[in-house]
């Protein structure tokens, strides 16, 4: 029994040393906690903090003993909230009073009938926006940007609410201007509150217009942060998808078939040479650019698939090899026009210079008549 007690029991000296170490650590904890008067901590968090000031072989105060020491040290300055089933929370009385004041005023505002009705209206509008069509398959069509279609897409409760905020228009011009303002504000709220796959046609067309006219990423992101446009990344995704979008599988992107509103199509090509005057032929560029121009016989419904596109997809969309075939012919040199016949055997002749000239002219005329080209005939004149 004595050996068992000596092995598992603790001596009075060890107990005193642990009390001294815990007291020193508790003083450090109180100094740290006095600078955290705007925060709240659970009693377990403070116990872990206390253990960080101790050695590994020294056990910190128990939770109950730590609570008792905190109340003894801080007195009425600190309060410990105890709720059954939850960890006890320690905070300073001044902070607790601030929390109670804020909670009271929030509860008091909820008791205000006018604000309560406004909140109910906002919740009702939000629920109606949740029923908006949300598709992640296709982008909005250009025809969807018509003012009548944009207005019909707005829920009635949101349209009436925004109209009631505007001053009454007195002239027809002012009414049309106000109508556009109402629709734009409604679509801005729809874009901000509707589910994620929803994409407003007005916000998308506004972003594409800004990018095509100004080419400014900063300006586009400013409008996006204000809620009046889509982001720069969304515009880039749309333009990449539009580049590779095709309505007919065998036709290039942007070309419509005749039965789908496509009209006369003309192809225009031009070459581009860069740094072609090199000695070795290296580091030079020789390319051919081709575009297709098509007139619309009608107004087709253009659909752009809403999908992430890579650079490889964009590069492959410009391949017209299956439509435009290069013209090639057999390479033949000019020598194929020359027909060789057996030449007349030449003999050495002995004649006067006048006779030689006469015979030369006669033979020249014969050769021209037979071969249709000029030739030079050399004679070997013997002395």
Mean pLDDT of 221-248: 87
Longest Cα–Cα distance of the chain, Å, equals: 158
Q: What is the CATH number of the domain that holds 62?
A: 1.10.10.10
For residue 355, tell me if it sits in a domain: yes
Q: What is the pLDDT of residue 102?
A: 61
Please tell me the total count of domains within the chain.
4
Domain boundary among 242, 270, 292: 242
Per residue in 78-121, pLDDT (tens digit) is 777 776 666 777 777 666 556 555 655 555 545 566 777 777 78
Kindly tell me if the per-residue pLDDT of 63 is higher than 80: yes
- For residue 283, the enclosing domain spans 246-301
Kindly tell me if the per-residue pLDDT of 346 is higher than 50: yes
CB 203 within 8 A of CB 228: yes
Q: Residue 229's pLDDT band (boundaries 50, 70, 90)?
A: very high
Give the number of other CB atoms < 10 A from CB of residue 330: 4
For residue 377, tell me if it sits in a domain: no
For residue 108, tell me if it sits in a domain: no
CB 181 within 8 A of CB 166: yes
Mean pLDDT of 202-221: 92
Mean pLDDT of 129-143: 79
Q: Do 23 and 91 belong to one domain?
A: yes
Q: What is the pLDDT of residue 7?
A: 42
Kindly tell me if the per-residue pLDDT of 10 is higher than 50: no
Per residue in 34-54, pLDDT (tens digit) is 777 666 778 888 888 888 888
Kindly tell me if the per-residue pLDDT of 318 is higher than 70: no
Kindly tell me if the per-residue pLDDT of 224 is higher than 50: yes
Compute the mean pLDDT over every residue in the chain, rounded to the nearest whole number.
Answer: 76
For residue 39, tell me if it sits in a domain: yes
Mean pLDDT of 291-319: 76
Burial 155-191 (b: 16+ CB within 10 A, else e): beebbebbeeeeeeeeeeeeeeeebeebbbbbbbbbb
d(CA 327, CA 334): 20
* pTM across the whole model: 0.50
Angstrom distances, CA of residue 21 to CA of 44, 60, 369: 19, 9, 128
Q: What is the pLDDT of residue 382?
A: 42
The kind and range of the H/E element at 91 are strand 89-92
Q: Do 230 and 271 belong to one domain?
A: no
Q: Do 258 and 236 belong to one domain?
A: no
Kindly tell me if the per-residue pLDDT of 67 is higher than 80: yes
Kindly tell me if the per-residue pLDDT of 8 is higher than 90: no
Q: Do 79 and 189 belong to one domain?
A: no
Mean pLDDT of 158-175: 85
Q: Residue 309's pLDDT band (boundaries 50, 70, 90)?
A: confident
Q: What is the pLDDT of residue 203?
A: 93
Q: Do 120 and 237 belong to one domain?
A: yes
For residue 315, tell me if it sits in a domain: no
């Amino acid at each position: 029994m004595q050996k068992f007690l000596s092995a598992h029991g603790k001596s009075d000296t060890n107990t005193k040393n642990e009390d001294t170490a815990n007291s020193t650590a508790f003083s450090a904890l109180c100094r740290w906690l006095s600078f955290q008067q705007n925060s709240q901590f659970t009693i377990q968090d403070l116990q872990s903090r206390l253990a960080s000031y101790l050695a590994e072989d020294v056990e910190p105060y128990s939770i109950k003993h730590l609570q008792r020491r905190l109340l003894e040290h801080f007195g009425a300055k600190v309060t410990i909230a105890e709720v059954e089933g939850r960890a006890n929370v320690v905070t300073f009385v001044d902070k607790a009073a601030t929390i109670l004041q804020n909670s009271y005023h929030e509860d008091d505002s909820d008791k205000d009938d006018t604000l309560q009705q406004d909140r109910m209206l906002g919740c009702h509008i939000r629920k109606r926006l949740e029923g908006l069509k949300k598709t992640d398959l296709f982008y909005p069509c250009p025809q969807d940007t018509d003012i009548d279609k944009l207005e019909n897409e707005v829920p009635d409760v949101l349209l009436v609410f925004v109209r009631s905020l505007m001053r009454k228009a007195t002239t027809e011009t002012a009414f049309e201007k106000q109508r556009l303002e109402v629709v734009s504000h409604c679509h801005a709220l729809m874009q901000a509150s509707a589910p994620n796959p929803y994409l407003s046609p007005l916000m998308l067309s506004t972003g594409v217009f800004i990018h095509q006219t100004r080419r400014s990423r900063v300006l586009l992101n400013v409008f996006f942060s204000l809620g009046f446009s889509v982001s720069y990344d969304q515009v880039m995704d749309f333009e990449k998808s539009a580049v590779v979008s095709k309505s007919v599988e065998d036709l290039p992107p942007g070309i419509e078939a005749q039965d789908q509103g496509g009209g006369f199509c003309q192809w225009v090509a031009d070459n581009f040479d860069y740094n072609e005057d090199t000695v070795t032929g290296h580091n030079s560029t020789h390319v051919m650019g081709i575009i297709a121009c098509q007139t619309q016989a009608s107004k087709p419904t253009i659909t752009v698939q809403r999908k992430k596109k890579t650079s490889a997809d964009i590069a492959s969309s410009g391949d017209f090899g299956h439509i435009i075939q290069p013209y090639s012919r057999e390479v033949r040199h000019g020598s194929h026009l020359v027909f060789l016949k057996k030449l007349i055997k030449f003999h050495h002749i002995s004649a006067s210079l006048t006779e030689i000239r006469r015979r030369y002219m006669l033979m020249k005329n014969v050769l021209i008549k037979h071969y249709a080209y000029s030739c030079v005939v050399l004679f070997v004149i013997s002395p």
